Amino acid sequence: MSTASRFDPDIARVAHLMADAARAAILPYFRSVDLAADNKLQDAYDPVTEADRASERAMREILGRERPDDAILGEEYGTTDGTSGLTWVLDPIDGTRAFVSGTPTWGVLISVSDGQGPFYGIIDQPYIAERFEGRPDGATLVGPMGTRPLRSHAPRPLSEAVVFTTFPEVGTAQEGAAFHKVASQAKLTRYGMDCYAYGLIASGQVDLVIEAGLQAYDICAPIAVVQAAGGIVTDWQGGPAHHGGQALAAANADIHAEALAILKQG
């Protein structure tokens, strides 16, 4: 039986309830002049705000009521064990640096994983009211222009490709050098879009997103959305990416193979 045929629609129902609740929790804080951010790190800047915490609390409250047997992995409040074999992986605000800067490229990430990885996901951008959803039977975007199906871009060579990453450094010095080998051959490279870049892959605007140093909650929802739209997401060796670390998200298998060959060279 295929994943699509055995997909439980209750998962989508609850996920949308969670995304709606996260929007309501976050938006009062966005672009607030009084917004305070704590720094998680001593030698770098990794902010967390009350909006992050409020968002995750709101989503966990819904899960506790609607699906108490499922496990949870969240960025701010850690792991809650479950018995169903399913895990909800939550990033209450992916791109908090963007959030505190007032740019609308951050998002709420919600996904559901089984033993094989994520099979359902949402990338939600509350401020511009765009919600990218990936499920076993396809991907959709709901936004100001209505609802439409998503399909990633058809194959084209790297020389014509659009490549995104969040930070110019892209992890370690070695990882950064490997990324820039790919980027140097692309038509256009852009930075700083956080999870929104993966939504752009799913909607056919972007060919590649290449990142490193990720956590599971950074990448599980993007994997589900991109793959539901016809793309592919792996690590830089072509293996699974849902545990975090390196990620290569591509619009199709052809551009994925071309980029992967370069990344493997280091």
Phi–psi pair at 76, nearest 5 degrees:
-90, -30
Residue 1 has pLDDT above 50, yes or no: no
Q: For residue range 92-144, list pLDDT tens digits in order.
A: 999 999 999 999 999 999 999 999 999 999 999 999 999 999 999 999 999 99
* Averaged pLDDT for residues 42-47: 76
Assigned CATH topology for domain 9-149: Fructose-1,6-Bisphosphatase; Chain A, domain 1 (3.30.540)
Closest CA to 230 of 200, 207, 251, 248: 251
**SS3 label, residue 120:** strand
Find the radius of gyration of the CA atoms of the chain: 17
Rounded to an integer, what distance in angstroms lies between the CA atom of residue 231 and that of residue 154?
10
For the domain 158-265, what is the CATH code?
3.40.190.80
Bridge partners (DSSP) of residue 115 are none
Q: For residue range 143-168, list pLDDT tens digits in order.
A: 999 999 999 999 999 999 999 999 88
pLDDT recorded at residue 6 = 65
Contacts of 66 (CB under 8 A, 6+ apart): 14, 17
pLDDT recorded at residue 223 = 98
* Averaged pLDDT for residues 36-55: 85
Phi–psi pair at 151, nearest 5 degrees:
-145, 130
pLDDT recorded at residue 4 = 59
pLDDT recorded at residue 178 = 97
Least confident of 20-34, 36-50, 113-127, 188-202: 36-50
Q: For residue range 192-229, list pLDDT tens digits in order.
A: 999 999 999 999 999 999 999 999 999 999 999 999 99
* Averaged pLDDT for residues 82-101: 96
Q: Domain ranges in the chain? A: 9-149, 158-265
Rounded to an integer, what distance in angstroms lies between the CA atom of residue 75 and that of residue 77?
6
pTM of the model: 0.95
Do the Cβ atoms of 249 and 230 come closer than 8 Å?
no
